[in-house]
Amino acid sequence: MDNMESLWDLFQKKNVSRRNFLKTCVTITGILGLSPSLISDVVSAAERQPLVPVIWLHGHECTGCDEAFIRSQTPLASDVLLNMISMEYMDVLAAAAGEPLEQHLQEIMGKYNGKYLLAVEGAVPLNDDGIYCMVGGKTFVHNLKEVAKGAAAIIEVGSCAAWGGIQAAKPNPTKSVSVSDVISGKTIIKVPGCPPIPEVITGVIMHYTLFGQLPPLDSKGRPKQFFGNRIHDTCYRRPFFDSGMFVEKFDDVGSKAGWCLYKVGCRGPEAYNSCGNMRWWNGLSYPIQSGAPCVACASNNFWDNDNFYERMPNIPVPNTIANADKVGIVAAGALTAGVIIHGALSTIQHKRHHQENDEPENDKK
C-alpha cells in the first residue's frame, strides 16, 4: 500500500518535524478557505491513512461466508467495516444496486488500481462459457478476471472459492472451479471452511490492516496461524482417542460422556482448521463439542469424501504432531493395526463405563 501513505507518513519519512507538519496543515486550511476552527479536522485528515479498499465478489455460493463474516466478535464486523477497511463493493451489504453499484466498482478499480484487496466468495462455473452464473448481465468468470487484474492480493473466502466447493462435487454439473484455477500471477490466500470460522475471516483482514502485510502462508496458501494444525491435534476429545474411548453410535453412553467421534466418521484427523483451538463464538463450541463428527469442511474435495458417517480407514498414529506437508507419508498398514487395537480397547471401556455409571436413565432410549 505504498502509494496510500498519509501526509504525516510522508513527513515522517523525510524526517520533517511534527511542528512543520502542523504548520503545513494550517497553511492547507488557509488555502482551502476553511475556517481556522477546522484546523484540527485538517490535521486529523492529513494524519489519517486511507482505509484499505476491499472489493468482495460473489460467484457460485450460498452467502454463508458473508453471514460468517458478520458473526465475528473479535473484531466486530462493524469495526472491520467502518474502521479497518472500506468495503467498496459487496452486493450483500451495499446500499446501492444495479448500474450505480457497477459504475462505482469501475471507479474504485481505476482509483485504487493495484491497491485493493479482492475477496471472492464462491466457485467459478466454466461450463457453457460461464453462463451458469451471470452478474450484471455478464458472466461471473469475466467479471472476476476483470477485477482480479488490479488487485493487490486475492482472498478466497470459503471452501467454494478455495477449492470449488459443493457445486464442484461429483458430477460437477456446472464445471465449477476455484478462483486460483482461473487467476494466476497474483498472491492468493486461501481461507477455506464451509463457512470459515468468523474470526478466521476477519482475522486475515485485520492482520493485513494491523501489520500492513499478508499473514504467513503454508504451502497451500492458507494462513498458518489458522490452518497450521489438524483439528485432531487440538481437539479437547483427543485424550479419549488416545485412550481408545469411542462413541459407537449416536446418543450412546460414549456420546453422552463426550468421547471421541472417530468411529462415527469424524474427519478431525485430516482436517486443518481452527475449530479445536479457537472454536466458534469465541470458544463456545464446535461440531465435535456438540457431539457431531467433523466433516472436514475446510479440506479440498471433502464433499466427495462421503459417506460422512463412515469411519476413516487410515489415520496417523496417536500422539503425533504432523503438519499439512507431512501428513499422508505415514504408512497406512501400521495405522490400521493401531486403529483395530483402539476399537477393541473402546469396547472394553464402554463396558466399564456402563458398569460404573449407575444412572439408568442415561442409557435409556
Partner 1 sequence: MKRVVVDPVNRIEGHLRLEVTVDETNGKVQDALSSGTAWRGIELILKGRDPRDAWVFAQRICGVCTTVHALGCLRAVEDALGIEIPKNANYIRNIIAATQMVHDHIVHFYHLHALDWVSPVAALKADPAATAALQNTVLEKYHMDLKGPVEFDSNAYPKEFPKATAAYFKAIQEKIGKIVDSGQLGIFSAQWWDHPDYNLLPPEVHLMAVSHYLNMLDKQREIVVSHVVFGGKNPHPHYVVGGMPCSISMNDMNAPINTERLAAVDTSINMAITLASYFYVPDILAIGELYVKQGYVDGGGLAKERVLGFGDYPEESYSGTSNGDFHKHLLLRSDGIVENFAQGAEKAIFYPFEAKDLTDPEVLTEGVEHSWYGYPEKDVDLHPWSGVTKPEYTTPKEGTKTDWKYLDENGKYSWIKTPKWKGKMAEVGPLSRYIIVYTKVKQGIIQEPTWVEKMMVDQVDAVSKLLNVAPEKWLLSTVGRTAVRGLEAQLMAYISKYYFDKLVNNIKAGDTSVANMEKWEPSTWPKEAKGVGLHEAPRGGLSHWVVIKDGKIANYQAVVPSTWNACPRDSKSGYGPYEATMMDTKVKIADKPLEILKAIHSFDPCLACATHLYDTSGRQLAVVHSDPYVKI
Site residues (CB under 8 A) for partner 1, limited to 76-135: 76-78, 81-82, 85-88, 90-104, 125, 128-135
Q: Is 256 in the site for partner 1 (CB under 8 A)?
A: yes
Closest C-alpha to 207, from 49, 94, 74, 93? 74
List Cβ neighbours of 181 (8 Å cut-off, separation of 6 or more).
Answer: 124, 164
Q: Give the one residue of 39, 136, 182, 300 binding partner 1; rule: CB under 8 A.
A: 136
Which residue among 55, 61, 151, 316 contacts partner 1 (CB under 8 A)? 61
Helix, strand or coil for residue 116? strand
Which among 144, 114, 120 is positioned nearest to 52, based on CA atoms? 114
Q: Does 287 interact with partner 1 (rule: CB under 8 A)?
A: yes
Does residue 309 interact with partner 1 by CB under 8 A? yes
Span near partner 1 by CB under 8 A; candidates 148-156, 273-281, 319-327, 339-347: 273-281
- Least separation in angstroms between residue 317's CB and partner 1 is 18
Binding mask 175-214 for partner 1 (x = CB under 8 A): -x-----------------xx-xx----------------
Residue with cell 476413516: 312
Q: Choose, by CB under 8 A, the member of 17, 20, 50, 344 that binds partner 1.
A: 50
Cα(286)–Cα(236) distance, rounded to whole angstroms? 11
CB of 17 to partner 1, least distance (A): 26
Smallest gap, in angstroms, from Cβ of residue 19 to partner 1? 25
What does DSSP say about strands 138-139 and 176-177: parallel, antiparallel, or unpaired? unpaired
Asked if 257 interacts with partner 1 (CB under 8 A), we say: yes
DSSP state of 36: G
Closest contact distance (angstroms) between CB of 331 and partner 1 is 15
120 has which bridge partners? 57, 156
Residue 300 makes contact with partner 1 by CB under 8 A: no
Using DSSP's 3-state secondary structure scheme, residue 58 falls into strand
Q: What letter represents residue 280's amino acid?
A: W
Task: Name which position in 258, 318, 338, 343 contacts partner 1 (CB under 8 A).
Answer: 258
Backbone torsions φ then ψ of 111, nearest 5 degrees: -65, -40
Query: 350 near 254, Cβ under 8 Å?
Result: yes
Which one, 58 or 207, has the nearer CB to partner 1? Answer: 58
